[in-house]
């Protein structure tokens, strides 16, 4: 019988029913494999020295169609780690990646950050994002004043401010916004998001109703204790992360109840009476659970809908917001409160 020694060399072996019946331990389930990466070695070792936890019996198919059974060593984490450390390659110093970062295009930042730990750390630096802003955004007349950082030394939320500025000035991102406007905004993706705020605005002869929805994040619930000074230095801080705004434009005004803290559980769009406009049905439930069989606790119906658009936080038409500094005491349940006369219709004549 051809098996292997304690050094882990694989050997060809002919397993019989008698060997399995008289084995001291149950034989592992036979796995199929087409080839092996090490040459077989014939050794004289007794059956008792084989540990079933360390090896698998693998069926191999030869070129002529015959089958052989091979004892194959189970690969552990240390095996893969040793192979990873012994791979050929060159480790460049961090200063080399720093010089390369000055030539990275905005659409390649994610790929550059995924090369190694050094490149990821560079994308966390203030100089990296100020360099992107200087190359693609500075002195551009299309950039709004609120996104200019030439005379701003605030570090908190620098990354998201530069990204929003790029969507006003960088041609690749501008084309992305144009293409997104042509295609469907896909409002059904907003289901299971938590409503943060609701407001409306008069836009000429129409009314625009806004629903700000945020995707629940488990990390926000776990990190309740925030170091105030450490949070001030976060370049990648983004209060609007995972937030989207649903803009519904209607011919008539429809009163919307306060929905803050509720979860959007259903959304449907149908044709309204007369087939000239659409009708939007929104269902909200308390809590973060979601089930197709549960009826919504609160339903909002908006008729005579002219247009439906979903804005991401980086979109140029995303509602204005300021990068408020982090609070020392974080309250996950704190939400904006509507005024008493929030839904009062004013005369705009």
| Distance, CA of 283 to CA of 191 (rounded, Å) | 9
What tens digit of pLDDT does each residue of 152-195 get?
888 888 999 999 999 999 999 999 998 888 777 788 889 989 99
For the chain, which ranges sit under pLDDT 70? 1-57, 69-87, 218-226, 288-293, 320-349
- Calculate the alpha carbon distances from 346 to 100, 115, 197, 299 in Å: 56, 56, 20, 25
DSSP 8-state assignment for residue 302: E
Please indicate, yes or no, whether the overall pTM of this predicted structure exceeds 0.85. Answer: no
Q: How far apart are the first and last CA of the chain?
A: 98
**Helices and strands (H and E) in the chain: how many:** 10, 10
Are the C-beta atoms of 206 and 250 separated by less than 8 Å?
A: yes
Q: Where are the domains of the chain?
A: 11-81, 94-181, 187-312
Query: Residues 6 or more apart from 134 whose CB is under 8 A from it?
Result: none
pLDDT, tens digit, for every residue of 224-263?
Answer: 566 777 778 888 888 888 899 999 999 988 888 888 889 9
Cα distances (Å, whole numbers) of residue 254 to 170, 201, 248, 332, 344: 38, 12, 11, 30, 11
């Amino acid at each position: 019988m051809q098996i292997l020694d304690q050094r882990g060399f694989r050997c060809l072996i002919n397993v019989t029913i008698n060997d399995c019946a008289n084995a001291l331990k149950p034989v592992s389930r036979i796995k199929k494999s087409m080839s092996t990466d090490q040459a077989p070695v014939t050794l004289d070792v007794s059956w008792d020295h084989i540990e079933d936890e360390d090896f698998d019996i693998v069926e191999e198919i030869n070129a002529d169609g015959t089958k052989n059974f091979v004892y194959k060593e189970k690969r552990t984490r240390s095996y893969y780690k040793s192979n990873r450390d012994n791979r050929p390659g060159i480790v460049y110093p961090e200063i080399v990646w720093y010089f390369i970062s000055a030539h990275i295009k905005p659409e390649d930042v994610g790929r550059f950050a995924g090369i190694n730990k050094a490149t990821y750390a560079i994308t966390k630096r203030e100089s990296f994002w100020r360099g992107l802003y200087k190359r693609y955004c500075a002195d551009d007349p299309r950039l709004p004043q609120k996104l200019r950082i030439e005379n701003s030394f605030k570090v908190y939320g620098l990354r998201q401010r530069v990204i929003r500025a790029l969507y006003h000035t960088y041609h690749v991102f501008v084309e992305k916004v144009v293409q997104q406007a042509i295609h469907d905004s896909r409002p059904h993706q907003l289901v299971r998001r938590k409503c943060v705020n609701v407001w409306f605005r008069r836009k000429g002869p129409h009314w625009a109703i806004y629903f700000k929805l945020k995707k629940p994040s488990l990390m926000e619930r776990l990190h309740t204790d925030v170091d105030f000074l450490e949070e001030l230095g976060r370049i990648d801080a983004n209060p609007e992360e995972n937030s989207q705004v649903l803009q519904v434009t209607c011919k008539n005004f429809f009163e919307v109840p306060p929905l803050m803290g509720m979860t959007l559980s259903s959304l449907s769009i149908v044709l309204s009476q007369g087939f000239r406009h659409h009708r939007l049905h929104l269902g909200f439930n308390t809590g973060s659970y979601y089930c197709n069989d549960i009826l919504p606790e609160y339903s909002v119906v908006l008729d005579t809908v002219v247009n439906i658009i979903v804005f991401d936080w980086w979109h140029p038409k995303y509602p204005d917001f300021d990068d408020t500094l982090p609070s020392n005491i974080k309250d996950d349940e704190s939400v904006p409160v509507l005024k008493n006369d929030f839904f009062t219709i004013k005369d705009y004549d």
